[in-house]
Amino acid sequence: MRKARLNIDVLYRFLEENCFGRKNAMKVDWIAKRFQTNGRSITLARHELVVARGLLICGAKEEPYGLYLPSTDSEKKRYVNQISAEVREICIFGRAIERAPLPARARKVSQGVLFDG
* Domain 8-102 of CATH type 1.10.10: yes
Global confidence as pTM: 0.79
In percent, how much of the chain has pLDDT > 70?
Answer: 87
Mean local confidence (pLDDT), 42-59: 97
Amino acid at 113: V
What is the per-residue pLDDT for 105?
80
Q: Which residue has the higher pLDDT, 110 or 56?
A: 56
Q: Which residue has the higher pLDDT, 116 or 100?
A: 100
What is the per-residue pLDDT for 107?
67
Among 40-44, 80-84, 108-112, the range scoring the smallest mean pLDDT is 108-112
In percent, how much of the chain has pLDDT > 90?
Answer: 80
Cis peptide before 103 (omega within 30 of 0): no
Per-residue burial over 78-92, b = 16 or more CB atoms within 10 Å of its CB, e = otherwise = ebeeeeeeeeeeeee
Please report, for the chain, the start and end positions of each structural domain, with discontinuous segments joined by +.
Answer: 8-102
Task: Report residue 31's pLDDT band, with 50, 70 and 90 as the boundaries.
Answer: very high
- Each residue of 83-92: pLDDT tens digit? 999 999 999 9
Amino acid at 55: L
Task: Output the average pLDDT for the chain.
Answer: 91
